[in-house]
Amino acid sequence: MIVEYAYLRILPGREDAFEQAFEKGRPILTGAHGCVSAGLFRDAEHPSSYLLKVTWRTLADHLETFPGSEAGRRFAEHVAHYFDGAPQVRHFEAADVAE
């Protein structure tokens, strides 16, 4: 399993609209090939920023399959126009000492 963490900055004043758009788009994301789950967390110190946590079966499912897929395009249509700059994205896998 791969866990994607994307730090998103949202255009000021558009936070509520972004959250609503994410909720509408979440079924598209979680229905994408290889997506296991997705959650959105608001930054407690910077209210226009969010952490998107997505669990993927493989790194390729996110980096190779999703971007060019219909699901990738449709999800981006819901949320991308709220971004204030490019997301900062990192991918993690469990270490033997994780749990």
Strand partners, 83: 10
CATH number at residue 9: 3.30.70.100
Residue 70 has pLDDT above 70, yes or no: yes
* Residue 65 included in any domain: yes
* Residue 38 included in any domain: yes
- For the entire predicted model, the pTM comes to 0.92
* Residue 40 included in any domain: yes
* Residue 97 included in any domain: no
Tally the domains of the chain. Answer: 1
User: 36-58 pLDDT, tens per residue?
Assistant: 999 999 999 999 999 999 999 99
* Residue 98 included in any domain: no
- What is the structure's pLDDT at 84? 98
User: 17-41 pLDDT, tens per residue?
Assistant: 999 999 999 999 999 999 999 999 9
* Residue-number span of the structural domain to which 55 is assigned: 2-89
* Residue 94 included in any domain: no
- What is the structure's pLDDT at 22? 99
